[in-house]
Chain A
Amino acid sequence: MSVLDPAWTALLYLAAAVFFILALRGLSSPRTARRGNLVGALGALVAVVTVFLSARLENIPWILGAIAVGSAIAAPVARRVKMTQMPQLVALFNGVGGGAAALVALLELGHTGDPWVRLAIVFTLLVGAVSFAGSGVTFAKLQELMTTRPVVFPGLPVVMAAVLLAAVAAAVVVILTGSPVPAVLLLLLGLVAGVLLVLPVGGADVPIVISLLNAFTGLAVAASGVVLGNVLLVVAGTLVGASGTILTRAMAAAMGRSVAGILFGAFRGGSTAGSTAVSERPVRSSSPEDVAVLLGYAQRVIIVPGYGLAVAQGQHTAAELADALEARGIDVDFAIHPVAGRMPGHMNVLLAEANVPYESLKEMGEINPEFKTADVALVVGANDVVNPAAKTSSGSPIYGMPILEVAEARQVVFLKRSMRPGFAGIENDLLYQPQTSLLFGDAKDSLAQVLGAVKAL
């Protein structure tokens, strides 16, 4: 079908590109975020309708069928996924986008003799494949299908260098000859490089890598736009590549890390230091009633929610406990670390789901000076974000990450499943301090018992 002439096509693509820019701007502010996302979806709809009306396409029933299949897979998963598992879903969506870009580039190889276009093709192949495989590994890490600790083996830098050299060689051959065999080889090398890139990254840094791979996919899409001579793909891909880069740096800054340090820290061997030390020191464990007394007779309580709370689906119980304490005249706040949960802003989403009022959620910079005045800091299923090793132990993988300074509170109570270290795989010295007590168990159960005991006071 070719209803639209090229001028109309270009205008509609321009409209879609403007929608995408407005979408990103809308998403940057809480008030307009949801509308921004809808504007983005509208832009995508305009673009897809335009391509059907403008390009001379065969196989349209097949294409519509494939779109239906993709939608039927994606929409229910996206609608039903637990909010705790959302980061890995984003990783997965990002990966398949990179894979699609790589496949498009591979198929376009036969349609061009221009070495510049072939350069864009090899770029798309390599970056798309890296993003696909890298996202797969981040998914496996977040889903805990594999260890969340950095995976390093001797000679990893050498293997990585060899893979990249081979990829460059294959790319040169593709650019010179346009032959499909080295192009497929390049695709495979990209997959290996993606796995090697993400394996050495420690669990706590995985969200930053997702953001980085997101930017990579954006660049691959932009390059595929050059291949197809499609301006919309160039603009949309470049937008995501650029904004994704800024976002990655902002996230890394929120964790006190540098992007290069995350990607190459494990290669230097520094990132795993101290991670295997498991101590047999005694801890003070207590009963729900003890915790209830501590909380019930405090004046100021700060609750520090972590991923453990989210996994146990305990956010509603935590909100009830906060209400019960406030009813006793106690001042209760939630201290939200920028990377509480598994991604920056993840915990805000989860607590918002539990209807915790916005005013009770305090960001790190705001709440840290207030721990001194708190009688009890109640840490629910968090570990790495309150670990003083981030400030004191320069060999620690989380060294330099800003933390919530719960140690300043008069009493610290940890609700923990076990003594197992947190996502970063390191021990928390705070657990052994005299002002600390621990209540072991599932976060939701523990909270419910404490809540019952508080009500009985």
Chain B
Amino acid sequence: MDGMSLLTITVLAVFVGFEVVSKVSSTLHTPLMSGANAIHGIILVGAIIVAGQAAETWVLAVALLAVVLATINLVGGFVVTDRMLHMFHARKEVARAAAPKADGK
């Protein structure tokens, strides 16, 4: 891909990045940070490409280290974010479950 197209895509992605999170409440700052953190674990794709092209042993070793690190970022990031958000979800379930009881009193 030529440089100009990449630049165009980059600039557009900057604006999308600004736009999608511009109205987030402080309650969600931590999960959002954690979710964004997981997304940049997609460097795994880059690490796989480099490891797949490695011809020398040391290059392969370094590339596999990058694969391990990137996987930790990607998998760990999504799992820990899901755990955080599960608690928000559970809270709503509890509130909903509690509401009919209160009505019944």
Chain A residues with a Cβ under 8 A of chain B: 16, 20-21, 23-25, 27-30, 33-34, 36-38, 40-41, 43-44, 47-48, 51-52, 55-60, 62-63, 65-67, 69-71, 73-75, 77-79, 81, 83, 86-87, 89-90, 93-94, 96-97, 99-101, 103-104, 106-108, 111, 116, 210-211, 214, 217-218, 221-222, 224-247, 250-251, 254, 338, 343-346, 348-349, 352-353, 355-359, 363
Contacts and interface: CB of A to CB of B under 8 A. Distances in A.
Contacts of A41: 38, 78, 82
A34 B53 CA distance: 36
Contacts of A239: 13, 16-17, 20, 36, 39
A181 to B, nearest CB: 15
Give the interface centre of A100, A238, A343, A358 by most chain B CB atoms within 10 Å: A100
Contact of B24 (A16, A52, A234, A247): A247
B69 A229 contact: no
Given A103-B47, A344-B30, A236 B87 contact: no
Interface in B60-95: 60, 62-92, 94-95
The DSSP consensus for interface residues of chain B is: helix
Given A28-B24, A63-B67, A349-B84, A224 B9 contact: no
Contact of A250 (B24, B48, B77): B24
Given A100-B46, A344-B27, A345-B31, 19 more contacts: A24-B39, A33-B32, A51-B49, A67-B68, A86-B80, A90-B77, A97-B40, A106-B62, A211-B29, A211-B33, A218-B39, A226-B6, A230-B49, A233-B42, A234-B10, A240-B17, A344-B30, A345-B26, A357-B95
B42 A63 contact: no
A28 B62 contact: no
Given A28-B24, A222-B10, A231-B6, A23 B35 contact: yes
Contact of A232 (B34, B41, B42): B42
Contacts of A211: 29, 33
A352 B89 CA distance: 9
A353 B29 contact: no
A407 B22 CA distance: 33
Contacts of B17: 24, 238-243, 245-246
B23 interface: yes
Given A58-B52, A66-B67, A97 B37 contact: yes
B14 A221 contact: no
B35 A214 contact: no
Given A104-B66, A357-B94, A62 B60 contact: yes
B50 A104 contact: yes
B81 to A, nearest CB: 5
B46 A352 contact: no
A15 B88 CA distance: 28
Contacts of A108: 50
A58 B26 contact: no
A46 B21 CA distance: 23
Contact of A243 (B20, B51, B82, B94): B20
B30 A343 contact: yes
User: Which of A33, A47, A93 has the most CB atoms of chain B within a 10 A radius of its CB?
Assistant: A93
A387 to B, nearest CB: 19
Given A28-B20, A104-B47, A44 B71 contact: no
22 contacts: A23-B35, A24-B21, A25-B20, A33-B88, A34-B86, A40-B35, A58-B53, A63-B48, A75-B75, A90-B34, A90-B77, A101-B46, A211-B29, A221-B40, A228-B46, A239-B13, A239-B20, A239-B36, A243-B32, A344-B26, A358-B91, A358-B95
B83 to A, nearest CB: 7
A3 to B, nearest CB: 14
Contacts of B25: 30
Contact of B33 (A51, A99, A247): A247
Contacts of B47: 100, 103-104
A275 B20 CA distance: 39
B40 A23 contact: no
A232 to B, nearest CB: 6
